[in-house]
Amino acid sequence: MTVPTITLNDGNTIPQLGFGVFKVEPPETERIVSEALEAGYRHVDTAAAYGNEEGVGRALATSGIPRDELFVTTKLWNSEHGTQSAIDAMDASLERLGLESVNLYLIHWPRPDMDRYVETWRALEQLKTDGKAASIGVSNFHVNHLDRLSDETDTVPAVNQIELHPAFSQTALRTYARGKGIAIESWGPLGQGKYDLFGREAIAMAAEAHGVTPAQVVLRWHLQNGLIVIPKSSSAQRMAENIDVFGFDLTDVEMTAIDGLDEGRRVGADPDTATF
Ligand code: NDP
């Protein structure tokens, strides 16, 4: 299975489809990530807050896959905003992952109420200079947060990882990001299973037309929109299904019909008001 790559604004490349491990229980993580690697995933998306970096690291180490064929993302948690705490948080994540560097380090949430994300971003710039993160980016940043980084710092984030799925397609933020050269990664790409995305007519009809599952249609919609997508599954069968999305193309009519499902409906927290 060859997953295409996207070139980021710093020249590094990222596999367009990866494996997310939010809510993968720590004792299960090594086994589940090992199964994902066996299924062909080479891009793993974790976070300090998920509590499962050790399991991810063990799975990577025992896989025998060369480090340069793997793409690893982790994220700085909200309690670690600030200069020294960000540097310490990166070191702690690298220790848990058993890696010398990650491919991508993200600020998990802006937490505008704390007003420290600009300072934290400068620390990530230093971590990139130090070689601990090949690329740096943000997550859950709105346009106004990105504008502040642009006004007050020298580095444009390589990535903004945001909630994005057909019911919450974030067209304004995507247009802004395209203009700035920021790649968008879709979290909750399947809507986290929180409502019946797969039963929507536009998705179900495309699935039937192509002889694929509704989940595969949704992932294909992300890919054909140029988005990076990181579905999570604890099931080996669904892991295989979710990476088997390079053998068909949705038509323009099908893409437009799925675009029409946007309800501006978040399943997760609003970054402007989140206080966890
Ligand atoms: P997803 O949209 O990937 O949905 C995961 C859910 O869908 C699980 O319940 C899974 O169940 C189910 N599922 C997976 N594949 C299929 C399938 N083929 N058919 C039917 N159901 C399926 O949600 P996530 O929240 O996990 O998002 C993906 C990743 O994004 C996370 O794992 C994490 O890495 C990242 N993320 C980042 C956030 C951020 O703030 N930056 C926030 C949330 C997520 P099962 O496991 O049983 O297959």
pLDDT digits (tens, 9 = 90+) for 201-236: 999 999 999 999 999 999 999 999 999 999 999 999
Centre of ligand 1 from the C-alpha of residue 230, in Å: 8
Mind listing the pLDDT tens digit for each residue in 162-175?
Answer: 999 999 999 999 99
Mind listing the pLDDT tens digit for each residue in 229-263?
Answer: 999 999 999 999 999 999 999 999 999 999 999 99
Contact between residue 78 and residue 271 where contact means Cβ atoms under 8 Å apart: no
Centre of ligand 1 from the C-alpha of residue 32, in Å: 13
Helix (H), strand (E) at residue 7 = strand 5-7
For the chain, the average pLDDT equals 97
Centre of ligand 1 from the C-alpha of residue 227, in Å: 16
- With a Cβ cut-off of 6 Å, ligand 1 is lined by 20-22, 45, 108, 139-140, 161, 187-193, 213, 215, 230-235, 238, 241-242, 268
